[in-house]
């Protein structure tokens, strides 16, 4: 693939990421923000019971004493974060898909984009979530945020490396097993390796306060994972369509072919 096509895919990837970020923003605002508000109310309620009336104002969850108000966090702050995340994700994923086109079987741009987006959802979001799930306000010691963030991103990196290793192993098995069985074997390798990593890596230092509503914790985590799912799937669908128009209907005129061995 020439450099002009890669630049075109990168630009379209960032545009698709922006669109996916908008979709994620809608879901985060409609589904996720009510859970954040409920968690803040729960934290304030617990602080009030623990320290008496008026003690909740020092918990850091209310609007008083905050550098950025809660209303601004849930609107402009949320929008900025989701859109920047979407554009960054789109650019990186577009480069990965540009490399993968023609190397993962005889899939066209649409199918390749959707497959790699689903792979990204599993490796970048779902597997790290199994080990270090998101936590609402009021859960976890604020002093451990730095170490917990480091643990999470190390898990993301490890999951991606395991996925790349499993994909390489699967490709090398194609001559022996054929495409279908090699794909299944590669997937099994990834699942087994990710399972071992989840089991052996250090546990999170987060402690859920006694009496914390389990349904609130579950809803918050499910909403967080749902936002990631909408962003990844939305990106795969949007970028697949844009890449199809660029490479098949427009400039390239034909689907990229798998490289010929030898």
pLDDT of 262? 38
Q: What average pLDDT is seen over the chain?
A: 84
| Parent domain of 161 | 149-207
Which H, E and C letters describe 102-134, residue by residue?
A: CCCCCCCHHHHHHHHHHHHHHHHHHHHHHHCCC
Contacts of 65 (CB under 8 A, 6+ apart): 57, 58
86-96 tens-digit pLDDT: 999 999 999 99
Contact 122, 244 (CB under 8 A): no
- % of the chain surpassing 70 pLDDT: 85
Last residue of a domain, which of 191, 207, 223? 207
Average pLDDT over residues 103-113: 81
Is 40 contained in some domain? yes
**Does residue 132 share a domain with residue 98?**
yes
128-170 tens-digit pLDDT: 999 999 888 878 777 778 888 889 999 999 999 999 999 889 8
**Does residue 250 share a domain with residue 172?**
no
pLDDT band of residue 250 (cuts 50, 70, 90) is low
Contacts of 30 (CB under 8 A, 6+ apart): none
pLDDT of 258? 45
**Does residue 50 share a domain with residue 6?**
yes
**Does residue 91 share a domain with residue 20?**
yes
For residue 84, pLDDT over 90 is answered with yes
For residue 47, pLDDT over 80 is answered with no
Is 144 contained in some domain? no
**Does residue 83 share a domain with residue 30?**
yes
pLDDT of 87? 95
**Does residue 111 share a domain with residue 30?**
yes
29-42 tens-digit pLDDT: 999 999 998 988 88
Using CA atoms, how far apart are residues 55 and 133, in angstroms rounded to an integer?
29
For 139, phi then psi, to 5°, come to -110, 120
pTM: 0.82
How many separate domains does the chain show? 2
**Does residue 134 share a domain with residue 178?**
no
């Amino acid at each position: 693939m020439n450099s002009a096509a890669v630049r075109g895919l990168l630009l379209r990837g960032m545009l698709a990421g922006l669109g996916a970020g908008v979709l994620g923003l809608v879901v985060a605002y409609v589904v996720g923000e009510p859970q954040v508000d409920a968690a803040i109310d729960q934290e304030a309620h617990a602080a009030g019971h623990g320290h008496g009336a008026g003690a909740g104002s020092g918990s850091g969850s209310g609007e008083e004493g905050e550098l950025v108000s809660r209303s601004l966090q849930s609107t402009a702050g949320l929008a900025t974060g989701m859109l920047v995340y979407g554009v960054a994700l789109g650019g990186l994923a577009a480069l990965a898909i540009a490399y993968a086109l023609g190397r993962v079987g005889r899939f066209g741009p649409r199918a390749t984009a959707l497959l790699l987006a689903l792979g990204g959802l599993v490796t970048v979001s779902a597997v790290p979530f199994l080990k270090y799930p998101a936590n609402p306000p009021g859960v976890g010691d604020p002093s451990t945020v730095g170490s917990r963030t480091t643990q999470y991103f190390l898990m993301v990196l490890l999951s991606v490396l395991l996925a790349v290793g499993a994909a390489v192993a699967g490709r090398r098995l194609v001559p022996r097993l054929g495409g279908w069985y090699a794909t299944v074997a590669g997937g099994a390798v990834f699942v087994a390796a990710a399972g071992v990593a989840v089991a052996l890596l250090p546990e999170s230092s987060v402690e859920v306060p006694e009496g914390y509503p389990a349904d609130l914790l579950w809803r918050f985590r499910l909403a967080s994972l749902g936002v990631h799912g909408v962003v990844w799937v939305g990106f795969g669908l949007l970028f697949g369509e844009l890449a199809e128009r660029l490479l098949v209907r427009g400039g390239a005129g034909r689907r990229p072919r798998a490289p010929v061995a030898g």
